[in-house]
Amino acid sequence: MERIVCVIPARYGSERLPGKVLYEIKGKTVLQHVYERAKKIKYFSKIIIATDDERVKSAAEKFGAEAVITPKFCRTGSDRVAEVVKDMDVEIAVNIQADEPFLPKEAVEKPLLLLLKDKSLNVATSAVKIRKKEELYDPNIVKVVLDKDNFALYFSRSLIPFPRIYFSDDKLPYLKNVVFYKHIGVYIFRKDFLMEFSKMETSFLEKIEKLEQLRIMENGYKIKVVVIKKDSPSVDTIQDIKRLRNE
């Protein structure tokens, strides 16, 4: 088995909800929920929480996690992962975003196993079918469209594809003529490619959409997407925290 390291980038200064990873849901912080989900995945040789803030590092160490301080200049979560693994002897780096407290195992394991099997892949991620009307129009929910081989064509905060045909957004689970996919916050990188990614300039579309994965595609590389069945609700606002506390 190749040496696989999981890094959970956990920046304190979120634009929409500062310190969101330290909010509690059912007695545990969002960050602890994410860490415990990662612990259930058997393939990792190490799990590291990477942050730019001592408050996050202290909170992580309290529940037994290894945590490191990374520079504040890291542009994105994946750049922060690259900073952590650059001097490590690893083959694959797994970036699990710190704001999805109920991440299903399949969201990580399925794209990881694909990367292990297919040496031609540089990066893989997960998506799930959108089943809720409000998620279609929420800019915090990142949508992805796929080609016939399940490589990403584009990621956007807008509704893609945009249906010119009539469709009922109240009956999303039953639609057959158009399907919408939500991106899950996981990236599985080959280390060599991750280091190359971290040296690329911030790309035009990446700046516009604030989506790091577009840097990969704008530079001519492909992202393999695995469609999974279980959803992974993310925390972007205080309303998300309140909703997840009540579920």
CATH (domain of 28): 3.90.550.10
Question: Residue 110 sits in which domain range?
Answer: 4-246
> Can you read off the two tokens belonging to residue 127?
């998506």
Q: Each residue of 194-205: pLDDT tens digit?
A: 999 999 999 999
- In this prediction, residue 2 carries a pLDDT of 63
Q: Each residue of 62-109: pLDDT tens digit?
A: 999 999 999 989 999 999 999 999 999 999 999 999 999 999 999 999
What count of Cα atoms within 13 Å lies in the side-chain half-sphere of residue 124?
A: 25
Give the whole-angstrom CA distance, residue 198 versus residue 194: 6
Residue 68's beta-bridge partner residues? 50
Can you list the residues of the chain whose pLDDT is less than 70? 1-2
In this prediction the pTM is: 0.94
The answer for residues whose C-beta is within 8 angstroms of residue 113's C-beta and 6 or more apart is none
User: Closest by alpha carbon to 193, among 226, 224, 165, 170?
Assistant: 224
Number of domains in the chain: 1
